[in-house]
Amino acid sequence: MTSEIQLAGFGGQGILFAGKVLAYCGMLDGREVSWLPSYGPEMRGGTCNCSVTLSDEPIGSPTVYNPDILIVMNEPSFVKYINEVKPGGCAFVNTTLVDSVSDRKDIDIYNIPATAMAEENGLTGGANIVMIGMLIKKTGIISMDGIESTIRKMVPPKKAQLIENNMKAIRMGYDFE
Amino acid sequence: MAEERVLMKGNEALAEAAIRAGCRCYFGYPITPQTEIAAYMSKRMPKIEGGVFLQAESEIAAINMVYGAAASGVRAMTSSSSPGVSLKSEGISYIAGCDLPCVIVNVQRGGPGLGGIQPSQSDYYMATKAGGHGDFHLLVFAPASVQDMADFAVWAFESADKYRMPAMILSDGLLGQMMEPVVFPEISSAQPEKPWAAVGHNNARPHNIINSLYLQPDELEASNIQRFERYEVVKREMASAQTYLTEDAEIIVTGYGATSRIIRSAVNAARKEGIKAGMLRPVTLWPFPEQAYKDTLSTAKVYLDVEMSMGQMVNDVKLAIECKRPVHFFGHTGGIIPTPAEVLAQIKALDEKIRKGDI
Amino acid sequence: MILERPKSLADVSTHFCPGCSHGIVHRLVSEVMDELQIEGRTVGICPVGCAVTSYNYFTCDMIEAAHGRAPAVATGVKRANPDKVVFTYQGDGDLAAIGTAETVHSATRGENITVIFINNTIYGMTGGQMAPTTLPGQVTQTTPYGRDPRYAGFPVRICEMVSTLSGCAYAERVAVDSPAHVKAAKKAIMKGFRNQLDGMGFSIIEILSTCPTNWGMTPSQAIERVRNEMIPYYPLGVYKDMTDKGGVFGDK
């Protein structure tokens, strides 16, 4: 199975990091993974996107054009990418910063006010991880156990309190209905 | 015990592998999209015995620092992106003329001129035909994955030492910036003796001279002939290619580096539609793997070369198959990456021509 | 024996013209290598220009460098081998025109190398064109009416310029137009190498030299020109000396 994932938002929302979490988790699962960022001056404050592929076969093009799974964290990214999602795919939409709605019926759209939820719970900057929590619940492409060991590996020991914060954000997204 | 898989950017994996391969001197100058190599080296080199990282005042100075370190027998490397490699070409010519081993990394971006910063493959000519003035070649390796970025760094250092010639890793912004799992290769710590190095003779031997100047024409010609005799050995021993589903392929889609990944996706899609397509990826660009192309002639009816350039490799493909089949080209430039869907459309169009008897 | 060929100077004929100062300076550098007993651990770098074939004249290990790049090559050798003695031997076109960036930056980094700089106000190897150090009014192949600063700019004074850089430990301008000046030049060269052995930082010795062939003069006329025209424009002396301040980093 191959999952092509696109993440998009503003620079500073942790788009690249969220993508790295997914790729890292896939790698620990023993799968083939690739992570490809947008790069260049537009990274600072402008839009930012990232392609992640998880697969059981060698990965060809690392660029995701038509994602199976889309994570969008702001309005311009929603407008740009929502119609690129493969029929039968799904989109996770950060409704705190996305006002538009899509009338697509051939994909599952999951709305979550991730930025507001993160801020209300003292996890400012953690909206990206909240969205991953919801992705785990709805798609199952990675497991809760997998994500926990991923975060433990990715967070340096001297920043151990971040592990708990990240797991809290994951659970908030996972439990959101 | 096998080392674990780690998730790294191509640029960083290359830098780490270079250090493991014994690279002790890195000289560079900032330019997107290769700067992670310099940043990684600046962090690691000071923690290694004898490790040198130095940010040079220019690309020209950087390659000449490599020249000095290599002349003294040390494994040395520089990296840059396309416009920066143009600047290095003077030094590369001198290094080749002095028969010195070193590694030069080009993480290609769009050109000509200042071009752009997105991935490109438009330095094929520069790498394989015109890396500087004079009669010489570089070993040119074309990685296609983050694992290759690591493996080829080791391969490049070992081959450069073995044949006493500069080696280039011709990468691009896509491979440099992307992350994939990588397992670092086991490295044998043995490096060849370098009795030719200019590092002080300790009054124990005649002085060594590292030089590319021959004022007598017959001496210069003799040195060039000797070098090209060595190149013949390199061609026999080093030419390398990767094939995928070519055994019965009527349509051979060829491309190097990052583009070969897109080709692979397109070939898979074509096979699902019953089209006999296969991929041939040159792994070394110099020497060009001519035999691998000839080996596909028994089934191939047509070749499709896909590049992020205006078609710089097409002529090498034509020469390799001695123009026995048509060679088509599809590419993008400026930082636009061909999509698997676009390549598939090209394959389908060629397949239709075959079915109609037009090829 | 009163006089013999220094061991560090090869027993070969040079390609230098009659009356050229390169021979004198080669001898001085070789004498210094002998006296400091460093020939076996010295690497010399000679770039494009009349110095280009000096790899045949010095008996230490030698590297020939691209035009202007000797300080970068020297940086590579020295950083890779901090225990070796590394010197460059460069002319004015090389050091002060095409290699200005390498000169300035190796100096400002405080590279622990020794630079021997031959200033003869002309490109010798290519047959006498204007150099960055060509004096105002001086006739060369490319300034046939004399160098006009309004058109071709002013000469570069390297010692003055480099001495402003914090990484420069020692800058001295000498000449080889008289026995007394030759003795002073040797002292300066000796100091330039000693500085490196002591880890002081970047040392440069600028040597006002003759080029009778391209100046269109006899050797004795050329000596007079150094004295009467060059020294007034390029005053001799020490422009920077950090050796009693512990070198450029203050730790020696």
Q: What's the gap in Å between the CA of C42 and the closest CA on chain B?
A: 5
- Segment A53-79 shows an average pLDDT of 96
Please tell me the distance from the alpha carbon of residue A131 to that of residue A153, in angstroms, as a whole number: 20
Q: Report the residue from B68, B201, B212 with minimal CB separation from C76.
A: B68
Residue type, B6: V
> What is the least distance, in Å, from the CA of B234 to any CA of chain C?
26
User: Which residue carries 């024996």 as its tokens?
Assistant: C1
Give the model confidence (pLDDT) of C19-66 as tens digits: 999 999 999 999 999 999 999 999 999 999 998 989 999 999 999 999
Which one of A27, A36, A62 has the shortest CB-CB distance to B7? A27
Q: Over 90: is that where the pLDDT of B130 sits? A: no
Report the neighbours of C using a cutoff of 3 or more CB pairs below 8 angstroms.
Answer: B
Separation in Å, CA B317 to CA B63, B323, C207: 31, 8, 57
Q: Please name the residue of chain A whose CA is at the shortest distance from the CA of residue B262.
A: A61
Give percent of chain A with pLDDT exceeding 90: 87
- Are residues C62 and B67, on separate chains, in Cβ contact within 8 Å? no
Q: Which SS3 state, helix, strand or coil, does residue A91 take?
A: strand
| Residues of chain C with C-beta less than 8 angstroms from the C-beta of B213 | 52-53, 64
- pLDDT by residue (tens digit) across A124-142? 999 999 999 999 999 999 9
User: Each residue of A8-40: pLDDT tens digit?
Assistant: 999 889 999 999 999 999 999 999 999 999 887
**Res A42 pLDDT > 60:** no
Q: Does B261 touch chain A (CB under 8 A)?
A: yes
Asked whether C119 and C158 are in contact (CB, 8 A), the reply is: yes
Task: Name every chain B residue with its beta carbon within 8 A of the beta carbon of C52.
Answer: 213
Q: Model confidence at A44, in pLDDT bands (50, 70, 90)?
A: low
Whether the per-residue pLDDT at C1 is higher than 90: the answer is: no
Most C CBs within 10 Å, among B99, B207, B219, to test the C interface: B207
Burial category of A176 from C-beta neighbours within 10 Å (exposed 0-12, middle 13-18, buried 19 and up) = middle
Structural domains of chain B, ranges and CATH numbers in brackets: 6-238 (3.40.50.970), 241-356 (3.40.50.920)
Instruction: Please state, in angstroms and rounded to a whole number, the distance separating the CA atoms of residues A17 and A169.
Output: 14
Residues of A in contact with B2 (CB under 8 A): none
| pLDDT tens profile B161-195 | 999 999 999 999 999 999 999 999 888 778 999 99
Q: Which residues in chain A are closer than 8 Å to B10, comparing Cβ atoms?
A: none
Contact call for C69 and B61, based on CB within 8 A? yes
Q: Do chains A and B touch (3 or more CB pairs under 8 A)?
A: yes
Contact state of A35 with B179 under an 8 Å Cβ cutoff: yes
Rounded to whole angstroms, how far apart are CA atoms C49 and A27? Answer: 57
Interface test with chain C among B67, B78, B93, by most C beta carbons within 10 Å? B67
**So where are chain C's domains?**
22-244
Q: Determine contact, residues A40/B117, Cβ cutoff 8 Å.
A: yes
Residues A11, A45: contact at Cβ < 8 Å? yes
Residue A41 vs residues A38, A81, A153, C43: alpha-carbon distances, Å: 10, 21, 30, 44
CATH number of C22-244: 3.40.50.970
Q: Which chains touch B (3 or more CB pairs under 8 A)?
A: A, C
Buried b (16+ CB within 10 A) or exposed e, A79-105: eebbeebeeebbbbbbebbbeeeeeee
C131: left (phi over 0), alpha (psi -120 to 50) or beta: beta
- Which member of B50, B57, B64 has the closest CB to residue C76? B64
Decide if B170 touches A, using CB distance below 8 A.
no
Measured distance CA(A27)–CA(B80) in Å, rounded = 29
pLDDT at C2: 74
The total of other beta-carbon atoms located within 10 Å of residue B15's CB is 31
DSSP B197: -
> What is the C-alpha separation between B187 and B263, in angstroms, rounded?
31
Quote the pLDDT of residue A39. 82
Shortest CA gap C136–chain B (Å): 31
Nearest to C84 among B52, B66, B200 (CB): B200
Enumerate the H helices of chain A as residue ranges. Answer: 15-28, 75-81, 114-120, 127-139, 144-154, 161-175
The closest CB to that of A60, out of B174, B179, B340, belongs to: B340
pLDDT of A41: 63
Mean pLDDT, chain C, whole residue set:
97
Q: How far is CA C216 from CA C24, C124, C141, C155, C209, in A?
A: 20, 12, 11, 20, 15
pLDDT confidence of residue B190? 85
Rounded distance between C-alpha atoms, residue A33 and residue A56, angstroms? 9
The CA–CA distances, whole Å, from B316 to A149, B181, B293 equal 49, 33, 10
Q: CA of C85: which chain B residue's CA is closest?
A: B200
Residue whose structure tokens are 């002349």: B71
Question: Which tokens is C91 given?
Answer: 């002319």
| Domain A2-175 CATH assignment equals 3.40.50.300 | no
Given an 8 Å threshold on Cβ–Cβ distance, is C64 in contact with B65?
no
Cα separations in angstroms, A139 against A89, A90, A108, C98, C170: 10, 9, 11, 62, 70
Residue in B with minimal Cα distance to A65:
B339
What is the residue-wise DSSP string for B211-222? -----SHHHHHH
CA-wise closest residue to B236 among B282, B168, B288, B161: B288
Distance from CA of B106 to the nearest CA of A (A): 17
Q: Is it the case that chain C and chain A have 3 or more CB pairs lying under 8 Å apart?
A: no
Q: Is the backbone of residue B257 left (phi > 0), alpha (psi -120 to 50) or beta? A: left
Mean pLDDT of C3-11: 94
Q: Which of B210, B213, B216, B219 to mutate to test the interface with C (most CBs of C within 10 A)?
A: B210
ipTM over 0.90: yes
Of A5, A12, A84, A19, nearest in space to A46 by CA: A12
B263 interaction partners in chain A (CB closer than 8 Å): 60
pLDDT at B284 over 80: yes
Distance (Å, whole) CA C15 – CA C5:
17
Task: State pLDDT tens for residues B231-249.
Answer: 999 999 999 999 999 999 9
Contact B53, C79 (CB under 8 A): no
Task: Find the closest chain C residue to B74 by CA distance.
Answer: C80
How far are the Cα atoms of B82, B123, B342 from residue B126, in angstroms, in the given order?
Answer: 9, 5, 27
Instruction: Judge contact between B99 and B87, C-beta under 8 A.
Output: no
Inform me whether the pLDDT recorded for C107 exceeds 70.
yes
Handedness of CA B119, B121, B127, B130 (dihedral sign): negative
**Closest residue by Cα to residue B144 from B253, B261, B6, B245:** B261
| Touching B: C residues 100-159, CB under 8 Å | 101-102, 104-105
pLDDT (0 to 100) of residue A46: 73
- Cβ distance A40 to B32 less than 8 Å, yes or no, reads yes
Is the Cα dihedral B240, B246, B249, B251 positive or negative? Answer: negative
Of A34, A40, A65, the CB nearest to B339: A65
Q: Are A37 and A58 in contact (CB under 8 A)?
A: no
Q: Looking at residue B34, what DSSP letter applies?
A: S
Cβ of A61 within 8 Å of Cβ of B177? The answer is no
Residue in chain B closest to C63 (alpha carbons) equals B210
Q: Point out the residue among B68, B211, B212 whose CB comes nearest to the CB of C75.
A: B68
Element of type H or E holding C160: helix C158-162
Residue B206, amino acid:
P
- Band of the pLDDT at B263, cuts 50, 70, 90? very high
Q: Is the dihedral of CA B49, B176, A35, B312 positive or negative?
A: negative
pLDDT of A43 over the 60 cut: no
User: How far is the alpha carbon of C221 from chain B, nearest alpha carbon, in Å?
Assistant: 31
Q: Which residue has the tokens 């996107």?
A: A49
| Exposed / middle / buried, residue B245 (Cβ in 10 Å: 0-12, 13-18, 19+) | middle
Neighbours, chain A (3 or more CB pairs < 8 A) = B
Average pLDDT, chain A: 94
Res. B250: pLDDT tops 70: yes
pLDDT value of residue B131: 87
pTM beyond cutoff 0.90: yes
- Residue pLDDT, tens place only, C137-194: 999 999 999 999 999 999 999 999 999 999 999 999 999 999 999 999 999 999 999 9
Distances C25 to B153, C16, C118, C187 between C-alpha atoms, Å? 44, 12, 9, 12
Q: Taking residues B124-128, report their average pLDDT.
A: 98
Token pair of A1 as six digits: 């199975």
The B-side interface with C (CB below 8 A) comprises 24-25, 27, 50, 52, 54, 56-58, 60-62, 64-72, 74, 76, 90-91, 94, 98, 197-204, 207-213, 215
Pairing mode of beta strands C85-91, C114-119: parallel
Tell me the mean pLDDT in the region B115-133.
Answer: 95
pLDDT at B1: 44
Rounded CA-CA distance B192/B73 in Å is 10
Question: C76: buried, middle or exposed (CB in 10 Å: 19+, 13-18, 0-12)?
Answer: buried
User: What pLDDT was estimated at residue B2?
Assistant: 56
Give yes or no for C97 touching B (CB within 8 A): no
Contacts of C40 in chain B (CB under 8 A): 200-204
Of A27, A32, A35, the CB nearest to B178: A35
